Amino acid sequence: MFLKRVEIIGFKSFAERIGIDFVPGVTAIVGPNGSGKSNITDAIRWVLGEQSAKSLRGAKMEDVIFAGSDSRKPLNYAEVTLILDNTNGLFPLDYTEISVSRRVFRSGESNYLLNGQQCRLKDINDVFMDSGLGKEAFSIISQGRVDEILNSRPEDRRSIFDEAAGVLKYKTRKRKAEHK
């Protein structure tokens, strides 16, 4: 699995549409404090379905929309798209490239797209669960998270290993089936 490109418009500090292309190997994003580095990882977690405004360092979901600056008016919506390589078929979709988008408007209206088709959050979760890229996955380790993992209860730590080992999907389905 390989994240090829991230496109952001109107998300947090990114008023202009930006595209970041990743190449194989290690990519480091550097910049002064407050320049938007963490906003990029927030954008990636958000498009993968993050529902907690607090975990995105805001008070309400609307806070992810560009709020304006001295020289620019606030925007009305935010949109983030990830483009992933799927030539090895890790994601259970019949495409060699997958795009996932999420959009939210100030009115509260929001939607998700998989390869350009509107879908539910559940569809996104199903595609990414056990790929290592879900919003709860180990692929994004934010500031303070290492300490949190080390200090967490064994049961909580276990779920990180379940996701890494690819069994979380089955546990989640079993739990849902039992509650039907």
Q: Which residues bind ligand ATP (CB under 6 A)?
A: 12-13, 31, 33-39, 63, 65-67
Backbone angles phi, psi at 133, to 5 degrees: -115, 5
Q: Which of residues 15-74 bind Mg ion (CB under 5 A)?
A: 38
Which of residues 38 and 111 has its CB atom nearest to Mg ion in the complex?
38
- Consult the annotation and say whether 171 binds a ligand: no
Which of residues 40 and 82 has its CB atom nearest to Mg ion in the complex?
40
- Minimal distance in Å, beta carbon 100 to ligand ATP? 21
- Minimal distance in Å, beta carbon 167 to ligand ATP? 33
Q: Residue 4, SS3?
A: strand
CB-CB contact of 49 with 77 (8 Å): no
Put the strands of the sheet holding 110-114 in their side by side order. Answer: 18-21, 2-9, 77-85, 97-105, 110-114, 117-119
CA-CA distance, 169 to 166, in Å (whole number)? 7
Which of Mg ion, ligand ATP, none sits in contact with 12, Cβ below 5 to 8 A by type?
A: ligand ATP
How many chain residues are in contact with Mg ion, going by CB under 5 A?
Answer: 1
Which of residues 148 and 156 has its CB atom nearest to ligand ATP in the complex?
148
- Consult the annotation and say whether 52 binds a ligand: no
The two tokens of residue 43 are 């954008």
- Consult the annotation and say whether 19 binds a ligand: no
Which of residues 65 and 114 has its CB atom nearest to ligand ATP in the complex?
65
Neighbours of 100 (CB within 10 A): 23
- Consult the annotation and say whether 39 binds a ligand: yes
- DSSP per residue, 80-101: EEEEEE-TT--SSSS-SEEEEE
Indicate the annotated binding residues: 32-39
Indicate the annotated binding residues for ATP: 32-39
Contact footprint for Mg ion (CB under 5 A): 38
